[in-house]
Amino acid sequence: MTTRVAVVDYGMGNLQSVVQALRAAAPDGVEVVRTHSPEAVRAADRLVVPGQGGFRDAAARLAEDGLGESVLEKMRAGTPYLGICLGLQILFERSEEAPGAVGFGWFKGSVDKLAGGPGIKIPHMGWNALELTSGGHPLLDAAGGPDTYVYFVHSFHAVPSEPGVVKATVQHGQNLVTAAVSRDNVMATQFHPEKSQAAGIALLRRFLTS
């Protein structure tokens, strides 16, 4: 029996590297398809929502043709969801970057700009070591657990109103960066598994097989 994995393409960022990493991580019997079709999303067994770019554009494009609503339907039905970068940020209610734009609201809270400072570059770009919180998460354990180095590229990060949803953080200057969030069937990372070498492939493999 084939497991269908939909990589949701809403036109934000280079998704092909995510598709390639998922296919590299996938065992036999897992089919990875890049799609912008709500029907294909509804037919999927797992969803991956990547993306890089602006919160407002992401919210607008997901609102087109019912694509975002099909994603929410699957999330509410218990379908495993993995968000990456903007795919994490869009789970929140709003963003400081885009006043008035509305995210999925799956998690309460906002997406705020990282604070710069002497010697602290924004965007936060490069490798950083995870610190696990709230008991961690099986996908993070598969990646290597605490102190695992993963790759970031971002200027904004989630600030949840519900601290228990934060599963990992990293420190960047004065910023305690939300690196991963999860509740029930929904898990998302601010870092890029597809750019995080062996740790990222291990995380993706666990998502595809758990």
Q: Domain limits of the chain?
A: 3-209
Concerning whether 192 is annotated as a catalytic residue, the answer is yes
Selecting among 124, 154, 172, 194, the annotated active-site residue is 194
Concerning whether 36 is annotated as a catalytic residue, the answer is no
Question: Residue 21: its pLDDT value, please?
Answer: 98
* Interatomic CA distance for residues 93 and 104, integer angstroms: 6
Concerning whether 85 is annotated as a catalytic residue, the answer is yes
pTM value? 0.96
pLDDT higher than 80, residue 134: no
Distances (CA, A) of 134 to 87, 96, 168: 21, 26, 8
Mean pLDDT of the chain: 96
Question: Residue 207: its pLDDT value, please?
Answer: 98
Query: 81-84 and 149-154 as β-strands: parallel, antiparallel, unpaired?
Result: unpaired
144-165 pLDDT per residue, tens = 999 999 999 999 999 999 989 9
**Highest CATH level, class, for 3-209:** alpha beta
Selecting among 85, 124, 157, 172, the annotated active-site residue is 85
Question: Residue 70: its pLDDT value, please?
Answer: 98
* Interatomic CA distance for residues 60 and 164, integer angstroms: 29
More confident residue, 199 or 118: 199
